[in-house]
Chain A
């Protein structure tokens, strides 16, 4: 029992990292997702193709594999390219490594962005066609109608699934433990590696995740209710 108490501050350091990386990943993911979602809705065939490729790849492959590619694979390729450029054209050597934190942000936000793109696409498509038609007949361009009429309404529809995405990402960041990123699960594993009290520590880790996810799902419920009354 005393171990559970003593390890709590260390685990909370990990939980802080978990929240930090989740917030960053979802924030960048929203930008990527908005871009990706609009690409998927675009009339341009090439943009639509790009958006589809992005969403299909990052939703269709495991996040764990994406993390391993970014942290272990990408530096190898970048170094090879750089060596080649340096040898052939005398380019300066700029790239040295991808720090684990950066790799964590890149892989998680790319993954999150793909899911968020689908959230935005669905939200925009759920807005009645008449809204766009009405905006266009007022003389707005397609872009203006999107910006001032469709997206503000779509955002409201997107908030509950965005909240779910945040919660899902919070749990998925535990996969970052494999690249040695010291988030909540890794902190727990490090303590188990020293004390061999697997059950108590992992249960404590699970409980901290549970408290965080419950808190956020309550927050999402609250936001959803607030927005509904505003209808």
Chain B
């Protein structure tokens, strides 16, 4: 009995110490980003690299490629930063920023108030929205109202998950990666995927002819680069670099490369007031 008691005590003490540590607020030891004017700074950037065309792994080289990757590398060049990529699940990105274990995150992340409470966002660099993907053989779902009571697949901690949660009677399954949701759709486990339009569209363009998009765009969302609250210097440099890339035309070049068209005039920057 005595042995049990001491073990329970030990666990209790451990939990108390952990909770106390959390209460103190974390002061990250990672100073590499702020200090050091000698040579290029190393900036660690988190991304969920399963999200083509924004960030994904080139299957031949194993390198990370995509619109976000090109954009962040261009920002790095402007600021004389060496970018170190850290691939992680999307739901892990905000916690990683909160603990300052990464210096920034670029991952097709929509700027929304709940996120802005815990991390800082750069100026918007992409305009997006939610869309529905279904199998072509599915005649029951033609639009947003048809999702009622259906099995919907989303990615964990995304704005697509937020939207699906509002569908009356919707049975939502949450996957780690959007590619898992696409597979579940093709396997017949779910009736529809609710996800960012450009990613759904890219999946179809990649030769998946058995699926289609229905119902048009549901939301207007803007992507931003997320930075820990305690790293305002990095945020300022990202914002100024975005403006530089806009003015020298490089942003438009990268946008053209991945989306085959010119970006809206206001990007990167705040959308016009009427939007």
Contact = CB atoms under 8 A, between A and B. Distances in A.
B95 A196 contact: yes
Contacts of B11: 210
B168 interface: no
B173 interface: yes
A100 B183 CA distance: 13
Contacts of B173: 100, 180
A95 B187 CA distance: 10
Contact of B187 (A97, A178, A192): A97
A99 B189 contact: yes
Interface residues of A, number: 27
A216 interface: no
Contact of A192 (B91, B115, B117, B183): B91
A41 B26 CA distance: 56
Interface residues of B, number: 29
A75 B188 contact: yes
B95 A192 contact: yes
Contacts of B183: 72
B205 interface: no
Given A72-B180, A178-B176, A198-B98, A193 B91 contact: yes
A31 interface: no
Q: Is the interface of A mostly helix, strand, loop or mixed?
A: helix
Given A72-B183, A97-B188, A210-B11, A193 B157 contact: yes
Contact of B174 (A186, A200, A207): A186
B204 interface: no
B22 A200 contact: yes
A203 B270 CA distance: 38
B174 A196 contact: no
A189 interface: yes
Contacts of A99: 189
A96 B153 CA distance: 17
Contact of A96 (B99, B175, B188): B188
A97 B176 contact: no
Given A190-B174, A194-B157, A203 B15 contact: yes
Contacts, number: 65
B18 interface: yes
A97 B173 CA distance: 15
Interface string A181-213: 010001001101110101110010001001000
Interface string B188-202: 110000000000000
A203 to B, nearest CB: 7
A172 interface: no
A179 B175 CA distance: 6
Interface centre among A180, A186, A203, A210 (most CB of B within 10 A): A180
A98 interface: yes
A218 to B, nearest CB: 9
Interface string B139-161: 00000000000000100110001
Interface of B: 11, 15, 18-19, 22, 91, 94-95, 98-99, 114-115, 117-118, 153, 156-157, 161, 173-176, 180, 183-184, 186-189
17 contacts: A72-B180, A72-B187, A75-B187, A97-B187, A98-B187, A100-B173, A179-B180, A180-B153, A182-B174, A192-B91, A192-B157, A193-B161, A194-B114, A196-B94, A198-B99, A199-B22, A200-B22
Task: List 10 tightest A-B contacts by C-beta distance, closest first.
Answer: A193-B157, A97-B188, A198-B95, A75-B187, A180-B173, A196-B118, A97-B189, A193-B91, A72-B183, A180-B175
